[in-house]
């Protein structure tokens, strides 16, 4: 099998450009992938965010397929667009990899990026391919606000409620299962809890809920990329409010309790302090919570503070396992 | 001195957000750095491109200051916006670095990014900071077309002329001087040819010429990031035309001939096959070449081909030293 170094940057970029050209909504496209830059004519204010994933730190090739890793990088970046109430329209991608990387691996990473982008009805607008000593993926997502206001982190006010777009704990549970098996647990665990493992490999939040929340008048929003506890701290500080979460009301994905029992871990740990889920967390007027969202707490005026079941989050915050230095 | 690992991602990102907040034109800004994503309201079609630079491959900390390295990453990415006729409005940045990196180095990299972005009257819209085993910078540039059409690579037609926005060879000459000194040449060379060394460390193309060229009706345009020879091949293929360059008419930066004599190298090599210059190369109607641009060749109908002084470029192409695998 050929390596990236043997095939060369030009030939690979040509393959990427071909892969990017098919699919996706191209209504607003002026110039696509393959030129110095892409050009598009947005239909509203533009939302932009960037996210980098590094092999061995954010993903492992022995735990996920290259296609899942590529797709996940898009989900993580696109979630930031949804968290503003935006709709993803395009991504630009940078892939760094060692010259000795098999071409097949890079093509699969790219296929995952392209597939997931097209699943969101968006386009791959361009990218860069460079030599690096480890695989590094940077996905920059672009979206538009389609008739809604941008939903910042700072808009939560006393009297509102906090709600979640979906259940938590899947990615953290799946990672815990993979880690347990690596450290000697029965590999059957991965089959028994395959839904959780798949949620780790490729989280599937309904990012369309970002626009739904914005249309419903969400006052503040973020995605749960750093774990719920971190996110409520961030929102409380940005909005200068107190946030109280009722841990019993935080929805957990199916199977989490059973995995917790199997591994001897409180599953609330995964739901409260796990990260890289990308479900959306938003503050609403109590009467404005969209269907399908779960109210998990309240916003009140006062000193910026985040509490779970009335207690300070300091201890729980210490649980988090994904924070990088 | 503290390291990135000791200070942590959150504290550093807060410092970056503060640095990004000052300066730059913020007329179209809705939400800046520090939220899940930034939001801006563009005044025209949006131009986007991404560019990654890796330590040891695209820059060296013993050859450039961190501030120059950060600024250069912005120049390289912004040049792709100019090459479409666009005006830079913002950048998003991803920095990967080892946890043991001194904080000062990362702050200086970021300062270079912020300074150069502000020099272009644009804003740092956000970013990501991750742990990686080597320093990796990805700059995604965003711009707008301000009343002009996008200038693609594919628009050159027979009867037009090819022109350059400025002289070439500085970055390649500077790199050759640094490399020669590393291999035993007299370090005084770096003082004698300091303009060339500085051009390598931080190229200063006048990127405003991108919009000037678009206003003048440029038919095709690119920046000279891969060396002039590579760029004319790319344009000839994209436009399906023959391009003839007269090497004697390619302007060289001052001092290049003297450095060539000192190192026993034909300086045309640096001007024709050096890269990472980011001067602009465009095809115009003969009567439409903007002031300050230098005509270096012609475009004619026929089989896609690129020739220098009538000869095939195959041999000269082999000179290039920057192409990555």
B86-127: pLDDT as tens digits: 999 999 999 999 999 999 999 999 999 999 999 999 999 999
Within chain A, residue ranges assigned H as helices are 4-7, 9-21, 66-82, 103-119, 170-182, 188-192, 194-201, 209-215, 228-239, 256-263, 267-273, 314-317
Q: How much is the average pLDDT of B44-58?
A: 96
Tell me what pLDDT residue A186 has: 95
The answer to whether residue B132 neighbours chain A at the CB level (below 8 Å) is yes
Contact A39 B53 (CB under 8 A): no
Between CA B15 and CA B275 the distance in angstroms is 34
For residue A127, which residues of chain B lie inside 8 Å, CB to CB?
A: 50
What is the bridge-based pairing of β-strands B242-245 and B305-308?
parallel
* One CATH from 3.40.50.2300, 2.60.40.420, 3.90.650.10, 3.30.499.10 for B161-317: 3.90.650.10
- The answer to whether the CB of B150 falls within 8 A of the CB of A39 is yes
d(CA B306, CA B309): 10
Sheet containing B280-284: give its strands across.
B220-223, B280-284, B161-164, B294-300, B242-245, B305-308, B311-312
Q: Is the pLDDT of residue B299 over 60?
A: yes
CATH superfamily label, A153-317? PurM-like C-terminal domain (3.90.650.10)
- What integer is the mean pLDDT of A251-280? 94
What pLDDT sits at residue B26?
A: 63
Angle at B197 between CA B196 and CA B202, to 5 degrees: 95
pLDDT, residue B323, reads 39
- Minimum mean pLDDT range among B21-25, B76-80, B186-190, B281-285: B21-25
Read off the pLDDT band of A14 (50, 70, 90).
confident
End-to-end CA distance of chain B: 36
Distance from CA of B156 to the nearest CA of A (A): 14
- Inform me whether the C-beta atom of residue A94 falls under 8 Å from chain B C-beta atoms: yes
pLDDT, tens digit, 9 for 90 and up, residues B131-155: 999 999 999 999 999 999 999 999 9
Mean pLDDT is lowest, of A102-116, A181-195, A309-323, for: A309-323
Span A251-262, pLDDT tens digits: 999 999 999 999
Asked which of A7-11, B263-267, B319-323 is least confident by mean pLDDT, the reply is B319-323
Higher pLDDT, A138 or B315: A138
For A34, the token pair is: 């393959």
Q: In the 8-state DSSP scheme, what is residue B41?
A: -
Sequence spans of domains, chain A:
4-144, 153-317
For residue range A111-153, list pLDDT tens digits in order. Answer: 999 999 999 999 999 999 999 999 999 999 999 999 999 999 9
Which residues lie below 8 Å from residue A271, measured CB to CB, with a gap of 6+? Answer: A167, A168, A169, A172, A228, A250, A251, A252, A256
Percent of chain B at pLDDT exceeding 70: 95
- pLDDT digits over B196-219, tens only? 999 999 999 999 999 999 999 999
Q: What is the pLDDT of residue B42?
A: 94
In a mutational test of the A interface, the residue from B35, B84, B144 whose CB has the highest number of chain A CBs within 10 Å is: B35
A49 labelled binding-site residue: yes
| Beta partners for residue B88, in sequence order | B143
Cβ neighbours of A53 in B, within 8 Å = 130
| pLDDT, position A324 | 38
Q: Does pLDDT of B320 surpass 50?
A: no
**pLDDT value of residue A11:** 86
Q: What integer is the mean pLDDT of B51-56? A: 96
Answer yes or no: do A52 and B90 touch at CB < 8 A: no
Partner residues linked to A144 by β-bridges: A46, A87
CA-based nearest residue in chain B for residue A223 = B36
pLDDT band at A323 (very low <50, low <70, confident <90, very high): very low
pLDDT given at position B316: 61
Asked if pLDDT for residue A319 goes beyond 50, the answer is no
What pLDDT, on the 0 to 100 scale, is given for residue A316?
61
What confidence tier does A274 reach under pLDDT thresholds 50, 70, 90?
confident
- Residue A325 contacts B where some CB pair is shorter than 8 Å: yes
Residues of B in contact with A325 (CB under 8 A): 4-6, 8-9, 99, 131
| A244 assigned to a ligand binding site | no
Does B96 touch chain A if contact means CB atoms closer than 8 Å?
Answer: yes
CATH topology of domain B4-144: 60s Ribosomal Protein L30; Chain: A; (3.30.1330)
**Which chain A residue has the Cα nearest residue B41?**
A45
| Average pLDDT score over chain A | 92
Q: ipTM score of the complex?
A: 0.93
Tokens found for residue A164: 């979640």
Contact criterion met (CB < 8 Å) for B46 and A223: no
User: pLDDT confidence of A59, banded at 50, 70, 90?
Assistant: very high
Within an 8 Å CB–CB cutoff, is residue B323 touching chain A? yes
15-54 of A, contacting B, C-beta below 8 A: 30-31, 35-42, 45-54
Mind listing the pLDDT tens digit for each residue in B213-264? 999 999 999 999 989 999 999 999 999 999 999 999 999 999 999 999 999 9
């Amino acid at each position: 099998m050929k390596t990236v170094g043997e095939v060369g940057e030009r030939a690979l970029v040509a393959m990427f450009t071909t892969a990017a050209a098919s699919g996706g909504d191209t209504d607003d496209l002026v110039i696509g992938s393959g030129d110095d830059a892409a050009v598009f004519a947005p239909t509203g204010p533009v939302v932009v965010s960037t996210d980098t994933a590094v092999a061995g730190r954010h993903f492992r090739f022995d735990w996920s397929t290259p296609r899942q890793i590529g797709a996940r990088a898009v989900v993580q970046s696109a979630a930031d667009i949804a968290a503003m109430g935006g709709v993803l329209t395009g991504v630009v991608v940078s892939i760094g990899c060692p010259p000795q990387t098999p071409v097949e691996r890079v093509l699969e990473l790219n296929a995952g990026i392209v597939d997931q982008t097209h699943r969101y009805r968006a386009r791959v607008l361009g990218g860069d391919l460079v030599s690096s000593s480890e695989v590094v993926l940077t996905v920059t997502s672009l979206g538009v606000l389609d008739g809604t206001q941008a939903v910042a982190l700072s808009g939560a006010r006393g009297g509102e409620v906090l709600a979640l777009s979906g259940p938590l704990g899947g990615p953290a549970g799946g990672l815990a299962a993979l880690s347990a098996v690596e450290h000697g647990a029965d590999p059957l665990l991965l089959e028994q809890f395959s839904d959780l493992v798949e949620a780790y490999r490729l989280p599937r939040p309904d990012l369309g809920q970002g626009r739904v929340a914005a249309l419903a008048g969400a006052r503040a929003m973020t995605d749960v990329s750093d774990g719920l506890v971190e996110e409520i701290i961030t929102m409380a500080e940005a909005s200068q409010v107190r946030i109280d979460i009722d841990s019993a009301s935080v929805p957990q994905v199916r199977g989490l309790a059973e995995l917790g029992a199997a591994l001897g871990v409180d599953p609330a740990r995964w739901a409260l302090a796990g990260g890289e889920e990308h479900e959306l967390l938003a503050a609403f007027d109590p009467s404005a919570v969209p269907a399908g969202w779960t109210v998990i707490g309240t916003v009140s005026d006062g000193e910026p503070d985040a509490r779970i079941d009335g207690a300070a989050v300091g201890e729980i915050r210490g649980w988090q396992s994904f924070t990088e230095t």
